Amino acid sequence: MSREHVIGIYQNVLDGKVKRFPNNFFVGEEGKIYMKYMTCYLLEERLSIQVNEIPVKVKASILWSHRLRSPALIYGWNYYDVIDNAYPGCFKPWEFHQVPHKYWYGQEGRNRAIKAVKHVIENELNLSLEEIPSHVNHHFFKNHDLNGAFKIFDHSPFQVIETVYPGLFKPWQFANVPLNCWKDDEFIQETMEYLIFQQLHFSSYEEALLKVRKQHFFDYQLTGLFQMAFSSRLQKVLEWIQLRIKEKNHFLLVSK
C-alpha cells in the first residue's frame, strides 16, 4: 500500500470519518512501515513539528491522543519506540523530556545510564579523560537530559564516573564530592597527600608546613576539603600537618 493511501486512511480515522483502522492493517513488517508513515505525517505535517524539535515537543500523550496507542500496543511499543520506528537512530531515549516509563529502573536502567553517560562524553562532547572531572557536574546531567540517570547514582558525579570508568579518577577531582567524604580521616589524608605531594610537589610534610597556603586549596579545586575538614582555617591545616610529622617521627623512633 502506498504512503498516500496509508495517510488517507489515517486522516479519515483522525477526522472521525471512519471509526477504526482496517482489519489486519498493522500486521507484520508492513504494518510497521504504515506506522512510520503515519507518525511522520502526524508530527511533521498535521502538527507542524520540526524533526529536531521532536524530543522537546513530543510526549506520549500527543501520540496516544492521535490514535496511535492501539497499533503501538500490537508491537508492545512505548511512545519512544513509535518515534524510533519513524526516525530510526535519530534520537536517544534520554533526549526526550518524557523518558519511557521505568527506563532508568533496576539493573537494566543502570546499564542504560552507564551507556548514556559514556555516549555523551565520548560521542557528543568528545571529552578526553583529563577533561571529564571539570565537565561532568550537575549541569552536565541537566544539559544532556540525564537527570534520571543522575538520580540512580544519588546525584553524585563521581559515583557516575566511577561506574562508567572504574578506578580512573579520585573523588576530590570533582567539584561535587560524595556526601560525608570530608568526615572520613582516611579520605582526608589521601586527598591531602595528593595536594601536598602530587600537585604542590613538596618533598616532605616539613616543607608543606612552611609553604602551604590557603590559596592552594582554591587553586586545585579543594575548597570543600578546606571548608569541611578544616573549617576554612589555615591554622587547622597546619595542625594536621604537624600531627603527621609527629606520627612519622614516632614511627621512625619505634622502628629503630
Residue of 185, 186, 157, 184 whose CA lies nearest to 173? 157
- Residue pLDDT, tens place only, 64-78: 999 999 999 999 999
Q: Look at residue 178 in the predicted model and tell me its pLDDT.
A: 65
**Nearest to 127, CA basis, from 111, 144, 142, 108:** 144
The span from the CA of 5 to the CA of 21, in Å, is: 12
How far apart are the C-alpha atoms of 9 and 159, rounded to whole Å?
51
pLDDT at 154: 84
| Residues in the chain, overall count | 256
Contacts of 147 (CB under 8 A, 6+ apart): 141
Look at residue 101 and tell me whether its pLDDT is greater than 80: no
pLDDT at residue 92 is higher than 80: yes
pTM: 0.66
Percent of the chain with pLDDT over 70: 97
Mean pLDDT of all residues in the chain?
Answer: 90
CA angle 243, 244, 249 (to 5 degrees): 95
Residues near 78 by Cβ (< 8 Å), separated by ≥ 6? 60, 72, 100, 101
pLDDT 10s digits, 106-146: 898 899 999 999 999 999 999 999 899 889 988 999 888 88
